[in-house]
Amino acid sequence: MLGASSRQRLLPYILISPLVVFIGALSFVPTADTTVEAFFRVMPLDPPTQFTGLDNFRALFSNSAILTSWINTAIYVAIGVVLSVVLGTVVALALRHRFRFRGVVLALVILPWALPAVVEAVIWSWIYNPTFGVLNSALHSLHLIGGYHLWLGLDRWLTILLIEIVQVWQITPLSALIILAALQSIPLDLYEAARVDGAGAISSFRRISLPLVRPAIAVATVEAVVLSLNIFDQVYILNGIAPLGSSVMLQTYVQTFEDLNFGGGYALSLLITLATALLSMAALALLYRRTEAA
């Protein structure tokens, strides 16, 4: 029988043990496994598994579909980060002051974030539909296009842009909320003081809002980097496995679960995990400068 005091000393360990077991067994062990197996030949249908050094990586770099998917993913990330952070800032600025129905507007604005990406992609595929889609119809009735277009699958940049817009639609509420929270924590007397000193709207945005929401923009940027590097659902629905708009995540899926080359999948996973870590840290270092209200 343990004494009361040693029971108290054990309590924290008991409280965190389920967490440690879960994260250890289902996050850390798998990550370590990926890191090791990337250097092995792993073919579930064609054993044995053996150490092959950098062979998996060499094969990846001579596979044109995979090389294309790397460049595609870079485009996805660039478009996704810029659009979601800029649009998120615009939404946050529009919603920062109280007005009637602001709560309702906020609830409606976060709706795209709450719905499954697969369903959203199916809806957008209908919007982009070349013959019956509303995008063609709307642009045509506004006389912006002469005839109906095939939007997806012809031009690489256009395909990627339109697929990434579907993801931006989903993740913009996230950056908007993060930036909005930061904007609302800025004391209003700072703006009052700036106005007394003769600052206009633009200059108070640049001198007060921007520096003080910089950490929030950094967080929103990192979220967008991780989400767009991982883009899968939207690509799977809107592009299928065609190389034109394929993402690295999609190639990982194809390599592993359709070609059953697990070693190649591991190597690809390891590379993109490292890329994610480097990019997120770079974004944080670049943007996350602690700025105190003077």
Partner 1 sequence: MTATGASEATARVVTRAAAGPAGRMLSGRPARIVGRIVTIAVILLWSLFPIYWAFDTSLSTLSGADSAPAHYFPSPLVGDSYRAMLGIGGAGNGISGQLGHSLLNSTIESGAAMVVTVVIAVFAAYAFARLQFRFKRTIFVSVLATLLLPAYATLIPLYRIMASLGLVNTYLAVVLVYVSGFLPLAIWILYNYFNSIPRELEEAAFVDGATPLRALLRVVIPVARPGIAAAAIIAFLMGWAQFLFPLILTTDLSTQPVTVIVAALNQQRVVPFTLLMACGVIAAAIPGILALVLNRYIIQGITAGSIK
Helical (H) or strand (E) element with 41: strand 40-41
Q: 43 near 260, Cβ under 8 Å?
A: yes
Does position 144 interact with partner 1 (CB under 8 A)? The reply is: no
Selection from 39, 63, 33, 29 nearest residue 267 by Cα: 39
* 47 secondary structure, DSSP code: P
**Residues 157-186 contacting partner 1, CB under 8 A:** 169, 173-174, 177-178, 180-182, 184-185
Q: 130 near 136, Cβ under 8 Å?
A: yes
Q: How far apart are CA 214 and CA 221, in angstroms?
A: 10
Helical (H) or strand (E) element with 50: strand 50-51
Q: Specify the stretch interacting with partner 1 by CB under 8 A; choose among 12-20, 54-62, 64-72, 151-159.
A: 12-20
Tokens linked to 127: 């919007």
Q: 119 near 182, Cβ under 8 Å?
A: no
Give the shortest CB-267-to-partner 1 separation in angstroms: 10
Q: Which string of b and e fits 256-272 if b means at least 16 CB within 10 Å?
A: beeeebbbbbbbbbbbb
The number of residues that bind partner 1 (CB under 8 A) is 104
Interacting residue with partner 1 among 46, 145, 157, 192 (CB under 8 A): 192
DSSP 123-181: HHHHHS-TTT-HHHHHHHHTTS-SS----SSS-HHHHHHHHHHHHHHHHHHHHHHHHHH
**Residues 69-98 contacting partner 1, CB under 8 A:** 90-91, 94-95, 97-98
Interacting residue with partner 1 among 11, 78, 210, 278 (CB under 8 A): 11
Give the shortest CB-100-to-partner 1 separation in angstroms: 10
Give the shortest CB-157-to-partner 1 separation in angstroms: 22
Give the shortest CB-286-to-partner 1 separation in angstroms: 16
List of E strands, 188-260: none
Does position 276 interact with partner 1 (CB under 8 A)? The reply is: yes
Give the shortest CB-218-to-partner 1 separation in angstroms: 10
Give the shortest CB-274-to-partner 1 separation in angstroms: 10
Nearer to partner 1, 54 or 277 (CB): 277
- The residue whose two tokens read 């999948």 is 265
Nearer to partner 1, 226 or 244 (CB): 226
Q: How far apart are CA 46 and CA 48, in angstroms?
A: 7
Give the shortest CB-58-to-partner 1 separation in angstroms: 19
Does position 286 interact with partner 1 (CB under 8 A)? The reply is: no
Nearer to partner 1, 163 or 249 (CB): 249
**Residues 214-253 contacting partner 1, CB under 8 A:** 215-216, 219, 222, 226, 229-230, 232-233, 236-237, 248-249, 252-253
**Residues 99-128 contacting partner 1, CB under 8 A:** 99, 103, 105-120, 122-127
The 3-state DSSP class for residue 44 equals: coil
Does position 291 interact with partner 1 (CB under 8 A)? The reply is: no
